[in-house]
Amino acid sequence: MTNKKKYFLHKYTPVFLLFTSILNEIDFNLEFNYISFNFAFILIFYFSLKREGSIGYILIFIAGLFNDVMNGLPMGISSLSYLLLCAAAAYLRNITLRPSLIKDWIFFLFTILILNFVTYTYLIIFFSYEIDYFDQAINIIGTFLFYLIFSYIFRFFDNFTLGRED
């Protein structure tokens, strides 16, 4: 594959994956009753942490609006969550001296717990939104666990498109 194609893939694949997952309404609620995860959270956190600016904040905001429309949520809820996730990733990126996957993973859990708490509290108080707490707990655990798998996949993809061996 030529360098131009690899650069194109390296630059635009995260944006393509984000909008594809949101427009297909993929929250990865698999056919199994107790496996689901939020791919958009994993994608946004990883690329905001590892590749600053790879998915622009405007595109993330627009993706959140699309997600709200697709899922029937009040406008701006997902955008706020996504941008707060970006802020948490930027904070971790700036305070980290030596990157570690385990530290990133634990911080990701802490971040998604706080984001989901704030988001669902807001939905319950202001919009009387009905929430199945068991399904949300399964989704949070699934998102947390799948972050490890996707971080290895994304790292492999970065190494492939940049021509590095790691």
Quick count: other Cβ atoms within 10 Å of Cβ 8?
Answer: 12
45 Cβ neighbours under 8 A, 6+ residues apart: 85, 88, 89, 108, 111, 147
More reliable by pLDDT, 79 or 54: 79
pLDDT in tens, 83-130: 999 999 999 999 988 889 999 999 999 999 999 999 999 999 999 888
Name the residue range of residue 120's domain. Answer: 3-162
CATH of residue 36: 1.10.1760
Q: Give me the pLDDT at residue 24, please.
A: 81
**Global pTM?**
0.90
The C-alpha atoms of residue 101 and residue 107 are separated, in whole angstroms, by 10
Q: Residue 161: pLDDT band by 50, 70, 90 thresholds?
A: confident
Q: How many residues does the chain have?
A: 166
Please give the tally of structural domains in the chain: 1
Q: Residue 2: pLDDT band by 50, 70, 90 thresholds?
A: confident
The tokens for 81 are 């969550």
Alpha helices in the chain (DSSP H): 3-23, 39-50, 57-71, 77-95, 101-127, 133-162
pLDDT in tens, 11-69: 899 999 999 989 886 555 555 567 788 999 999 999 999 988 889 899 999 999 999 99
